[in-house]
Amino acid sequence: MSPALHPDISHLAFMLGTWKGSGSGEYPTIDSFDYNEELIIGHVGKPFLSYQQKTKDAATGMPLHAETGYIRPVGREAIEFVIVQPSGIIEIDEGSVEGHDEGGRIVVESTLVATTATAKDVSGVRRRLEFEADELRYELDMAAVGQPMQFHLRATLARADGES
């Protein structure tokens, strides 16, 4: 039996579901790359969304980046992301949400990035997500490894099933 959506996240229902698609990335210090992604955004009846992402190298099919966490509303216009990456990075992002029944736009920026002793240096992250009916487009900028904040990723995903 699935729990009902908590009223505090009802305005974020456009995010729910399994999303699949592809993207590409670059950074001045690395070779450009293409990837395939699966993102599952769910809920358990509490006032937050769960967020589980995994990617594979488009050329080899080998696992690439992954991240998992939670998305927390702050009223109807603000939002918080809490994200953990297996590369030893944790990220807290805060920002705004403009939503409606069919989609929405979310813009967040890190207020905290913490790295383990062995992780690559990351000092800032910005994420922009646009949900439009069954399509999700996002872009991610980062300040890392001594480089100023700049583009790292963009992807377009499609809803792969109904809401989860």
Q: Would you tell me which residues interact with ligand HEM (CB under 6 A)?
A: 25, 27, 29-30, 33, 35, 37, 55, 64-65, 89, 91, 120, 122, 125, 140, 142, 144-145, 152-153
How far from chain centre, in Å, is Cα 2? 24
- Give the nearer residue to ligand HEM in terms of CB position, either 140 or 149: 140
Lookup result for tokens 């790359």: 33
- Give the nearer residue to ligand HEM in terms of CB position, either 29 or 150: 29
Of residues 162, 156, 164, 163, the one with CA closest to residue 20: 156
Report in angstroms how near the CB of residue 147 gets to ligand HEM at its nearest: 8
- Give the nearer residue to ligand HEM in terms of CB position, either 133 or 145: 145
Report in angstroms how near the CB of residue 18 gets to ligand HEM at its nearest: 16
* Nearest-angstrom CA–CA distance, 103 and 15: 8
Report in angstroms how near the CB of residue 24 gets to ligand HEM at its nearest: 9
Strand partners, 90: 84, 114
- Give the nearer residue to ligand HEM in terms of CB position, either 5 or 82: 82
C-alpha dihedral (159, 12, 6, 85), degrees to nearest 10: 70
Report in angstroms how near the CB of residue 67 gets to ligand HEM at its nearest: 6
Report in angstroms how near the CB of residue 94 gets to ligand HEM at its nearest: 15
Residue 100 is inside which H or E element, if any?
strand 89-100
Of residues 121, 130, 90, 91, the one with CA closest to residue 109: 91
Of residues 132, 143, 138, the one with CA closest to residue 107: 138
- Give the nearer residue to ligand HEM in terms of CB position, either 13 or 90: 90
